[in-house]
Chains A and B, each alone.
Chain A
Amino acid sequence: GESVGLHLPTLSVQEGDNSIINCAYSNSASDYFIWYKQESGKGPQFIIDIRSNMDKRQGQRVTVLLNKTVKHLSLQIAATQPGDSAVYFCAENEQAGTALIFGKGTTLSVSS
């Protein structure tokens, strides 16, 4: 089946650095993409989303980039903080109302 995946299972950065977490998706019919953050012992928390008619979307300290040509999604976190340490998942949605397909996650570790 088609699925969303992340390139790296772990990413270690220093506090204050910018972090980039990547995700490749295979379903060209997907039109909605979301990044979630999951801290230990908690459920996934919505970070930011983007629709397929956009290339870039910015939030507070986060930016999501979508490259439909190569089916690539990335999450950029500016000035990474220790509180950003968590597992990050990308997810895709083929059409409104269908189930989200999650990637396997990247564990971000931020050292101070």
Chain B
Amino acid sequence: KAGVTQTPRYLIKTRGQQVTLSCSPISGHRSVSWYQQTPGQGLQFLFEYFSETQRNKGNFPGRFSGRQFSNSRSEMNVSTLELGDSALYLCASRQGSTGELFFGEGSRLTVL
């Protein structure tokens, strides 16, 4: 069974641009969560989607948004990029609304 797949793995953007990151969960998993990882703040929760509905949202500005499609694939978008948005963005999936989270390898975003 394939794991959580995130694309792209690496990307470089400049301030003011926007970016879209994609996540394909493990087959059969309906919940997808997104986390931001930085050296200073560690792993911070962005949002969680379950059956196409956002169920939880972390304390991030409105520039960060996401969505989930009917096949459980998810995307997150960051608009008007700032230097501080440089981070590893991790996606995680799980089968139901609770249980073990399986993480992807992340998308490393660098904002110049």
Contact = CB atoms under 8 A, between A and B. Distances in A.
Nearest to A49: B100
Contacts, number: 47
Interface of B is mostly: strand
Given A100-B101, A102-B42, 12 more contacts: A36-B103, A42-B105, A43-B4, A43-B105, A44-B43, A45-B103, A46-B101, A46-B102, A89-B43, A98-B56, A99-B33, A102-B35
30 contacts: A34-B100, A36-B103, A42-B106, A43-B4, A43-B92, A43-B104, A43-B105, A43-B106, A44-B103, A45-B103, A46-B101, A49-B100, A89-B42, A91-B43, A96-B98, A97-B55, A97-B97, A97-B98, A99-B33, A99-B48, A99-B56, A99-B58, A100-B33, A100-B45, A100-B101, A101-B45, A102-B43, A103-B42, A104-B42, A105-B42
